[in-house]
Amino acid sequence: QKEVEQDPGPLSVPEGAIVSLNCTYSNSAFQYFMWYRQYSRKGPELLMYTYSSGNKEDGRFTAQVDKSSKYISLFIRDSQPSDSATYLCAMRKGSGGSYIPTFGRGTSLIVHP
């Protein structure tokens, strides 16, 4: 079993839909949680960064962490065709642990007009 599990999709939704992207993990030492977005033929770029449990909102994006369930989510409201990309979750341990994140496989999202 991989440390971080993520459904590769593809997930296809109509423009304006609310999108939910999810990852589960097995290592309870993970403290920092990230979402990267990767457009076709580009490198990933950091979209959201959260520490421990709770929610974080940035515009149309909300990152949610539930450490008790070892489950993280990224919600996209009012999705746009420009949101079409691969979304990778990533996580790493806290102080004293490696600063190198462990990535999920990525979920391909397609938002059609």
Partner 1 sequence: DVKVTQSSRYLVKRTGEKVFLECVQDMDHENMFWYRQDPGLGLRLIYFSYDVKMKEKGDIPEGYSVSREKKERFSLILESASTNQTSMYLCASSSPRGSDEKLFFGSGTQLSVL
Site residues (CB under 8 A) for partner 1? 6, 8, 32, 34, 36, 41-46, 49, 88, 99-101, 103-106
At 91, the amino acid letter reads M
Shortest Å distance, C-beta 88 to partner 1 = 7
Shortest Å distance, C-beta 113 to partner 1 = 26
Residue 37 structure tokens? 């977005």
Residue whose C-alpha is closest to residue 9's, from 76, 85, 61, 71: 85
> What span, in angstroms and rounded, lies between the C-alpha atoms of 91 and 67?
12
Q: Which is nearer to partner 1, 17 or 49 (CB)?
A: 49
62, burial (CB in 10 Å: exposed 0-12, middle 13-18, buried 19+): middle
Q: Which is nearer to partner 1, 34 or 72 (CB)?
A: 34
Sign of the alpha-carbon torsion through 25, 51, 49, 81: positive
Shortest Å distance, C-beta 112 to partner 1 = 22
Q: Which is nearer to partner 1, 19 or 34 (CB)?
A: 34
Shortest Å distance, C-beta 90 to partner 1 = 8
Gyration radius of the chain's alpha carbons:
14
Q: Which is nearer to partner 1, 18 or 55 (CB)?
A: 55
